[in-house]
């Protein structure tokens, strides 16, 4: 071992220019968000086609809506990770708070005839109240019991929405948002760019809130609860209140996301209430990398994009011509996503965002292994 370290040190001083170059590269790489930021802000004005990735030019209303959906789901996954990756709570009922935002806002607009701003406020409050009450009950059990109870609550919400009590929710069809109650600048296909900006604003808000709370003293306690809840108790803190705070915050962000989603899709549909919706959030978070700053965002964007594009792929002629062994699984996006999810769990622990670090770690270990081999004789 000692013979191996000495020559390596000498080798580093020998190729000095290469080191400075790599350092300069690394310094430049620190500015990677800049081009991304520019891209995000120029998207609505761009007519550039991205063949394979998107259908037609980027700035077309259809693609703008897909991109806005990607941003909303990236934000939703980031909010959900507040529970899963930051506090260690595996909630299976997140769809309920999202749906509360969507359905309450839409229903108040339709039934009470209030303006969008008032309805959205009520929808948000409904999300806060619901997550506070149900969170208080479900957090009485810990671990897997908590997961099951949140799932059961969300299921009730889903059943209620689909049974359509009093014709309020629209049952399995859902209900379209009333165009006359919405601000004129948010209605119609020519205003899709505005919706994109709203989705972007929501994403930024979620990222800021999550970053800020995670770095605050409460966030430290969350981290402690995730690592070892018993030790937090021993330190004289009651985890219950902290967990409830995380649950309510995540629920509030989800409800806000529901309102943005309502604007984006122009209606409330029962698909957003189902447990599949929560599971897809879970897939997004794990796909991207749970407990990281950008992971859930990356996962949400990737998943939403893949879901839409795989749907197009399933309906395309290329798949219809394949033999049935290939055609049958390819026609189901959910099968592909489920299989992909299992594959990610095995092959990519830590998600997609850990991929660069893993690759470079693999490369350095290979390089040192090679060097050791050379030095051995």
Partner 1 sequence: MSTVVLLTFTGLGLGALYFLVASGLSLIFGLMDVLNFAHGALLSVGAYGTWWAASGHLPGAGPGGAGFALAVAFGTAVGTVAAVLLELAVIRPLYTRPREQILATVGVGLAVPALLSAIWGADARPFPGPKTLSGTFGLLGAEVPVNRVVLTGAAVVVLTALKLFLGRTRHGLVVRAGVEDRAMVTALGIDVRKAFTLVFAIGGAAAALGGALGGLYFGSVDPEQGTSLLIFAFVVVVTGGMGSLTGAAVASVAVGLVQQFANYYTTAGLGDLAVVVLLAVLLLVRPRGLTGRLA
Residue list 28-87, contact with partner 1 (CB under 8 A):
none
Whole-angstrom distance, CA of residue 170 vs CA of residue 180: 19
Nearest CB to partner 1, comparing residues 68 and 161: 161
User: x-or-dash pattern for partner 1, window 111-140, by CB under 8 A?
Assistant: --------------------------xx-x
Residue 153 in the binding site for partner 1 (CB under 8 A)? yes
Query: Under a CB-based contact definition with an 8 Å cutoff, are residues 262 and 106 in contact?
Result: yes
The partner residues of 175 in beta bridges, in order of sequence, read 268
**Listed ranges 36-44, 96-104, 249-257, 325-333: which one lies at the site for partner 1 (CB under 8 A):** 325-333
Min dist. Cβ of residue 226 to partner 1 (A): 11
Residue 341 CA: distances (Å) to CA of 8, 76, 352: 41, 18, 11
Q: CA nearest 76: which of 246, 210, 206, 215? A: 206
Q: CA nearest 86: which of 301, 352, 285? A: 285
Residue 142 in the binding site for partner 1 (CB under 8 A)? yes
Min dist. Cβ of residue 171 to partner 1 (A): 11
**DSSP code of residue 49:** B
**Listed ranges 47-55, 151-159, 244-252, 361-369: which one lies at the site for partner 1 (CB under 8 A):** 151-159
Residue 320 in the binding site for partner 1 (CB under 8 A)? no
Min dist. Cβ of residue 94 to partner 1 (A): 14
Min dist. Cβ of residue 80 to partner 1 (A): 13
Q: Which residues contact 347 (CB under 8 A, 6 or more apart)?
A: none
Nearest CB to partner 1, comparing residues 119 and 150: 150
Min dist. Cβ of residue 258 to partner 1 (A): 21
End-to-end CA distance of the chain: 13
Min dist. Cβ of residue 17 to partner 1 (A): 44
For 55, the enclosing helix (H) or strand (E) is: none
Q: Which residues contact 296 (CB under 8 A, 6 or more apart)?
A: 74, 77, 78, 80, 81, 85, 284, 285, 288, 289, 290
User: x-or-dash pattern for partner 1, window 330-369, by CB under 8 A?
Assistant: -xxxxx-xxx-xx--xx--x--------------------
CB atoms within 10 A of CB 287: 26
Number of residues that bind partner 1 (CB under 8 A): 42
Nearest CB to partner 1, comparing residues 64 and 126: 126
Q: Which residue from 35, 51, 165, 377 is in contact with partner 1, where contact means CB under 8 A?
A: 165
Rg (CA), the chain: 24
Query: Under a CB-based contact definition with an 8 Å cutoff, are residues 102 and 272 in contact?
Result: yes
Nearest CB to partner 1, comparing residues 176 and 348: 348
Residue 147 in the binding site for partner 1 (CB under 8 A)? yes
User: x-or-dash pattern for partner 1, window 257-296, by CB under 8 A?
Assistant: ------------------xx--x--xx--x----------
Residue list 193-252, contact with partner 1 (CB under 8 A):
none
Query: Under a CB-based contact definition with an 8 Å cutoff, are residues 89 and 142 in contact?
Result: no
Nearest CB to partner 1, comparing residues 65 and 278: 278
Query: Under a CB-based contact definition with an 8 Å cutoff, are residues 290 and 85 in contact?
Result: yes
Q: Sign of the CA dihedral 98, 102, 105, 111?
A: negative
Per CB under 8 A, residues contacting partner 1 are: 90, 137-138, 140-145, 147-149, 151-153, 155-156, 159-160, 163, 165, 275-276, 279, 282-283, 286, 328-329, 331-335, 337-339, 341-342, 345-346, 349
């Amino acid at each position: 071992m000692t013979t191996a370290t000495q020559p390596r040190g000498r080798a580093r001083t020998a190729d000095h220019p290469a080191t400075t170059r790599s350092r300069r590269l690394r310094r430049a790489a620190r500015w990677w968000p800049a081009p991304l930021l520019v891209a995000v802000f120029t998207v609505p004005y761009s007519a550039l086609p991205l063949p394979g990735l998107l259908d037609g030019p980027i700035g077309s209303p259809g693609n703008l809506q897909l991109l806005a959906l990607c941003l909303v789901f990236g934000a939703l996954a980031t909010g959900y990770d507040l529970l899963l990756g930051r506090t260690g709570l595996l909630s299976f009922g997140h769809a309920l708070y999202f749906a509360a935002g969507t359905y309450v806002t839409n229903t108040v607009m339709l039934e009470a005839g209030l303006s969008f701003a008032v309805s959205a406020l009520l929808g948000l409050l409904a999300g806060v109240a619901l997550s506070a009450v149900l969170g208080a009950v479900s957090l009485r059990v810990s671990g897997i019991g908590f997961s099951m109870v949140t799932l059961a609550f969300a299921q009730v919400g889903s059943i209620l929405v689909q049974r359509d009590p009093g014709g309020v929710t629209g049952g399995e069809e859902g209900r379209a948002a009333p165009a006359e109650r919405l601000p004129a600048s948010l209605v119609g296909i020519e205003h899709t760019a505005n919706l994109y900006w709203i989705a972007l604003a929501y994403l930024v808000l979620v990222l800021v809130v999550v970053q800020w709370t995670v770095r605050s003293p409460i966030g430290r306690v969350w981290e402690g609860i995730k690592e070892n809840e018993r030790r937090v108790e021993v330190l004289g803190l009651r985890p219950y209140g902290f967990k409830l705070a995380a649950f309510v915050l995540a629920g509030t962000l989800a409800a806000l996301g529901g309102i943005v989603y309502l604007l984006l899709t122009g209606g409330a549909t029962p698909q957003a209430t189902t447990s599949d919706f929560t599971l897809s959030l879970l897939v997004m978070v794990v796909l991207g990398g749970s407990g990281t700053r950008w992971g859930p965002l990356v996962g949400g964007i990737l998943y939403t994009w893949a879901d839409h594009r795989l749907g197009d792929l399933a309906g395309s002629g290329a798949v219809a011509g394949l033999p049935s062994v290939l055609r049958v699984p390819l026609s189901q996006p959910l099968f592909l996503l489920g299989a992909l999810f299992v594959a990610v769990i095995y092959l990519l622990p830590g998600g997609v965002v850990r991929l660069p670090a893993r690759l470079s770690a693999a490369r350095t270990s290979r390089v040192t292994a090679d060097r050791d081999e050379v030095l051995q004789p």
